[in-house]
Structure 1
Amino acid sequence: MSTPRYFGLLRLAFDQALATVLAEVGPQHPELRPAHLQLFRFGGIDGSHTAELAAHAGMTKQSMHELVTHLERHGYLVREADPVDPRAKRVRLTTAGQQLERQINAAIADLLDSWEKRLGTERFDQLWNTLQELTGETALPDRARIRVPKNG
């Protein structure tokens, strides 16, 4: 008898969500890969240190450094000195990076809307309430607050 693949199912849902967001945003940003979206998983990244972003994304600082370097090379962000700690650098979104962040947020809101339509409001709310209870993450933003026009 095989062991149920609970973690695999959670990962599959996440991977499908990531693919859906990338499919919506990717045509305007062909240099993006799913890993780049990891930076935007936990809200605004502007002003963060690379080490903070790595911790939030659950990856090594070296791996996050590579993602940040790639996005910097493509004009989405810059690194600047931290005024409090001159040895550290803060990630700052460029105008293109701010636009990308808005587009990613809108794509996430679209995905959540489609899930709510598919599940119905009651089951959708139960899903998020359960996930919030399990993770302790209770401060989810209202989808209307993160949505912007598709060309925004």
Structure 2
Amino acid sequence: MSTPRYFGLLRLAFDQAIDALLAEIGPRHPDLRPAHLLLFRYGGIDGSHTAELAAHAGMTKQSMHELVRHLERHGYLVRETDPQDTRARRVRLTPAGRKLERQLTQGIAAVLDDWERRLGTERFDQLWATLQELTGDTGPLPDRAALS
């Protein structure tokens, strides 16, 4: 067995989750691609700077600017001058962007419900406890009932 396969399985689970999420919301948002979902992976983006979003997504600022511009062109967000720093701009969700954010949250809940159904509640809970332990991110997970 080759060592990279372990990391490949982690990535495969993530890719499958993104594919399921796009299958759920894609018909309503045909202009979205998996890369656009990276903006939303750490929660709300409203009021963030593009540099913050890039850091959270693990990508360059230039790449993030491209994603933001695409979402801006399609009416999901606008960029506004930051009142604290007139050289900086903050991302603001439009009503369409807020709707997309809600649909993404509901789609994530559907993916998680499917995983729990497939794994069973005990193994599902163990998965998240293990991932939190490995990553050191031990903050509380969102209430899944509130996601739907």
TM-score by length of 1: 0.94
Deviation readout 1:25-48 (Å, 9 max, x if unpaired): 000000000000000100000000
Between the aligned residues of both structures, percent identity stands at 78
Unaligned runs of 5+ residues in structure 2 are none
After superposition, what is the alpha-carbon deviation per residue over 1:2-41, rounded to whole angstroms, capped at 9, x for unaligned?
4351111100000000000011000000000000000010
Q: Which residue of 1 aligns with 2:78?
A: 78
Corresponding residue of 1:142: 143
Q: In the alignment, which residue of structure 1 is the partner of 2:131?
A: 131
**TM-superposition CA deviations, 1:39-88 (whole Å, max 9, x none):** 01000000000000000000000000000000000000000000111110
- Counterpart check, 1:106 vs 2:106: yes
RMSD: 1.0
Q: How many residues align?
A: 147
Moved over 4 A (4+): none
1:144 partner letter = A
CA distance in 2: counterparts of 1:4 and 1:61, whole angstroms: 28
* Alignment TM-score, normalising by the size of structure 2: 0.96
Whole-angstrom distance in 2 between the partners of 1:21 and 1:58: 20
Please give the alpha-carbon distance, in whole angstroms, between the structure 1 residues aligned to 2:76 and 2:23.
Answer: 19
Superposed, which structure 2 residues align to 1:47-62 within 5 Å? 47-62=47-62
Unmatched runs of 5 consecutive residues or more in structure 1: 148-152
Q: Report whether the alignment pairs 1:40 with 2:35.
A: no
SS in 1 for 2:112: helix
Residue type of the alignment partner of 1:140: L
**Corresponding residue SS for 2:128:** helix
- Alpha carbons of structure 1 residues 66 and 108: separation in structure 2 relative to 1, 3 Å: same
Q: Secondary structure at the match of 1:133?
A: helix
Cα distance in structure 2, aligned partners of 1:55 and 1:12: 22
